[in-house]
Amino acid sequence: MYKLFRQKLLQALSIGLLSQLAWSQPAIPPSIEPMVSTFPSGSGNVERWGAIEIKLIGPAEGNPFTEVVLSGRFSQGGRVVEAAGFYDGEGVYKIRFMPDMVGTWYFETTSNRPDLRGKKGSFNVMAPTADNHGPVSVRNMYHFAYADGTPFRQIGTTSYAWTHQGDALEEQTLQTVATAPFNKLRMCIFPKHYEWNKNEPLLYPFEGTAPAKWDFTRFNPAYFRHIEQRIGQLRTLGIEADIILFHPYDKGHWGFDRMPSGADDRYLRYVVARLAAYRNIWWSMGNEFDFMTEKIPTDWDRFFQIVQAADPYHHLRSIHNGSILYNHTKPWVTHVSIQSGSAAEDFERAVIYRDIYRKPIVFDEVKYEGNLPQRWGNLSAEDMVLRFWQGTIAGTYVGHSESYLDPNEIIWWAKGGVLHGQSAARLAFLRKIMEDGPADGLDPIDKWQDYPFAGKRGQYYLGYFGRDARTTWPFELYKAELKDGMKFKAEVIDTWNMTITSVDGVFEVKKRGNYLFADKDGRSIALPGRPYMALRIVRLP
């Protein structure tokens, strides 16, 4: 499904229409206020969960970033949504809005400046087009869905600094993700300074002089417009942008990891005002947040609270650990973003996070497929795929990245480019299996011990045997929701070779012992004695 959809961007790339995909591109006469434009067409109409932008001309003198307060009040019927505006440079102010209902919306601006205050207008919101399912939020405690109810089965990847590599490489990265299985991409707002990624970005987020002399009270709008263009392109591709707001891969080189707290807070509000209207935004307060030695624990609570208060759409919010976990039970955390080298290697480890947090678990970093000397970057493709499957049967979600050494130091994990590994194709195969599974998500069938099945009790069972190269599996299902006489069809799945083989016949179950229902004739399913095998067992009507 998503492949067809992604044709669009590939076409756009090939015929040079990329510029049409950016927020700021439509030419709008500056004399007419307020101007309402939509993304990406620039026409007067907008679709549900699309976005509109109100453009206003105001003061350019003084410091508009700190001195001007602007927001829009959007209403439809009894519903009112407030969205903050922002200064986009050269006397231009913008208020962005993502309408979540069809029909006519009205707006009025408020500001501490008379020339920006009381501007009114309206726009009509149409039904969403086929590939627009709205923003993603939590569903069924442990899972995700788009606003229109479509399940979102997270298959993530990470490319921290891909938007800071120049157009050629960035467009190559977009071409890569257009045909890759990933529906979420983790990426940083700030540039990254780290081994294999010491190149300076083309733009900087603040006015000033590189590397470390900045006026933190003045943003560089061009920097943010560029990132927005890339986020918009991901939106077109149906890819969620997991925006990392702070990270430690700076260590004072630019100093964006050690700004004064007032600058941190203003930065967060500015980013939220600019980006929140993109339906594909997720907020990650920090990556390896505990490695940011200049921050204190309560800073992160405050960041969450600022983003939560500023974002009218309640996009998903989390934070990603280095060694020390954030307390994800705090109410502003919507889902759990974990780094662990070992957790997703074993479904009985992975499920612990789910049991404790009672929120969706995303193992965003489980080591990377690659060949770096560092132990976090030399996973085999088999081990990467195994982690996705173990995480899946634990009722959790996993993230991919690649870290293969490259003569030009273009490593996917940092800069994007192309994929060199063998896991992505298998993750596409897994994604298809997830999409064909129950809409409510996959939940562990029996968490007691050594029962590697997730699914929906009584209906659907997905089992995975990992490195266990067994030759048979006795047809035994955990008792919950089963009754004597229920009938099932089974398929053997080779998760590495990407084959699905139907098992002959129908299995009819009968209670056996305290805990199980087994095939009434005591039959087993033959397995090929290879690792990485799975079973799909579906109840017949």
Which residues bind to its own copies, rule: CB under 8 A?
Answer: 323-325, 327-329, 340-343, 345-346, 348-349, 352-353, 355-358, 373-375, 447-450, 514-515
Sheet holding 92-97, edge to edge: 35-39, 51-57, 92-97, 79-87, 70-76, 103-111, 120-126, 46-47
Q: Which helix (H) or strand (E) holds 388?
A: helix 381-393
Closest-CA residue to 540 (of 498, 494, 507):
507
Distance of alpha carbon 22 from its chain centroid, rounded?
20
Q: Which helix (H) or strand (E) holds 532?
A: none
What is the smallest separation between the CB atom of 348 and its own copies, expressed in angstroms? 5
What is the smallest separation between the CB atom of 375 and its own copies, expressed in angstroms? 6
Spell out the residues 6+ positions from residue 159 whose beta carbon is closer than 8 angstroms to its own. 173, 185, 186, 187, 401, 412, 413, 414, 415, 416
Q: Which is nearer to its own copies, 314 or 358 (CB)?
A: 358
Closest-CA residue to 274 (of 283, 287, 262):
283
Q: Which is nearer to its own copies, 186 or 387 (CB)?
A: 387
Q: Beta strands 402-403 and 369-370: pairing type? A: parallel
What is the smallest separation between the CB atom of 394 and its own copies, expressed in angstroms? 12
Q: Which is nearer to its own copies, 133 or 354 (CB)?
A: 354
Q: Are 405 and 370 in contact (CB under 8 A)?
A: yes
- Judging by beta carbons within 10 Å of its beta carbon (0-12, 13-18, 19+), is residue 16 exposed, middle or buried? exposed
Closest-CA residue to 335 (of 362, 356, 312):
362
Q: Which is nearer to its own copies, 72 or 452 (CB)?
A: 452
The two tokens of residue 462 are: 């997905």
Please report where in the chains the tokens 């900087």 appear, as a residue: 204
Q: Which is nearer to its own copies, 450 or 504 (CB)?
A: 450
Q: Which is nearer to its own copies, 161 or 445 (CB)?
A: 445
Q: Which is nearer to its own copies, 73 or 447 (CB)?
A: 447
How far apart (Å, rounded) are the C-alpha atoms in residues 171 and 175?
6
What is the smallest separation between the CB atom of 371 and its own copies, expressed in angstroms? 14
What is the smallest separation between the CB atom of 447 and its own copies, expressed in angstroms? 8
Q: Which is nearer to its own copies, 107 or 289 (CB)?
A: 289
What is the smallest separation between the CB atom of 226 and its own copies, expressed in angstroms? 36
The two tokens of residue 129 are: 């087009």
